[in-house]
Amino acid sequence: MIVGIVGLGLMGGSLGLALKKAIDNVKIVGFDHNQQHCDQARALGLIDEIVTFDMLKKSDVIILAIPVIGIIQIFEDLKDVSKDTTIIDLGSTKEKIVAFTPKVIEANVIAAHPMAGIEKFGPHAAFEDLYAGSVVVLCDLQRNSALHKNRAIEIFEALKMQIAYMNSKDHDQHAAYISHLPHAISYALANSVLKQEDPKSILALAAGGFKDMSRIAKSSPNMWSDIFEQNSTNLLNAIESFEFELAEVKKMIKNKDNEALKEWMKIATTLHKIL
């Protein structure tokens, strides 16, 4: 089986490594507009060969590990692929991707979102076990033919991922709270400290709590600004919910209402009984 990966950064590069380990007789070919990423991916052994886009289109499976706007744009160049070619997009939002998938390849395109990642990015950040044990959400599979559904499921099962099924609208609403809002909060926390008069003195006190909450603020601004734009309505709703809770705790602290504050915190601790 030939798997072509478009985008050779953290997600695409890690996928190349993982697929070579998980699937027998697989050849991984790659394409990236960034020549440096191509050179690094080849040197690091993330893929077996760098190919042109036309050559990559002849793959059995094409995986789009690029930002959402790039996925939507590249669909036009994939409209002539074989009916037997499975296209898997790894975009972090799904509703717009599903809406903009050309009808001619709708049966081929599997809308997938692996809930995996770290704050580092680029080919050098890639590692073999990024996907293992993580959840992958497959959306709107009713659009896809049995061939492509089954092939995608087999690939994600080979990667030892937990598969969840969801419609794209619900996915984007949920992702706003559990992925996109935490990133917005982390960037805001980092900026709130950096804008103080002496941020270095503040950071000298930084321990586990601050480091945990600010860690994802090291994530790629290019990627996350794209995600925020593509899921803006859902993210704004999530931010408003968060602002409400901040206003509540601010009021309790200001009013020295310690009992209400403790009860508010107690409710929050029950979250991890669900996780």
Question: Which residues touch 146 (CB under 8 Å, ≥6 apart)?
Answer: none
Q: Looking at the 3D structure of the chain, how many domains does it have? A: 2
Our CA angle for 147, 151, 154, nearest 5°, is 145
Q: How confident is the model at residue 207 (pLDDT cuts 50, 70, 90)?
A: low
Looking at the structure, tell me whether residues 184 and 149 fall in a common domain.
Answer: no
Looking at the structure, tell me whether residues 190 and 150 fall in a common domain.
Answer: no
Question: Which residues touch 270 (CB under 8 Å, ≥6 apart)?
Answer: none
Q: Kindly report, residue by residue over 212-243, the tens digit of the pLDDT.
A: 788 888 888 888 898 999 999 999 999 999 99
State the alpha helices, DSSP H only, in 101-231.
Answer: 146-158, 168-175, 181-194, 199-203, 208-214, 221-230
Coil, strand or helix at 234: helix
Q: In the chain, what percentage of residues exceed pLDDT 90?
A: 81
For residue 124, give its domain range. Answer: 2-166
- Single residue among 166, 188, 218 that ends a domain in this structure: 166
Q: How far is Cα 110 from Cα 96, in angstroms, rounded to an integer?
A: 13
Q: Is the pLDDT score of 134 beyond 90? A: yes
Looking at the structure, tell me whether residues 129 and 241 fall in a common domain.
Answer: no
Cβ contact 230:96 at 8 Å: yes
Q: How far is CA 261 from CA 59, 251, 253, 256, in A?
A: 57, 9, 7, 9
Structure tokens at 148: 């492509």
What CATH number does the domain containing 102 carry? 3.40.50.720
Looking at the structure, tell me whether residues 88 and 204 fall in a common domain.
Answer: no
pTM: 0.84
Looking at the structure, tell me whether residues 209 and 108 fall in a common domain.
Answer: no
Number of residues that this document lists for the chain: 275
- Single residue among 166, 189, 219 that ends a domain in this structure: 166
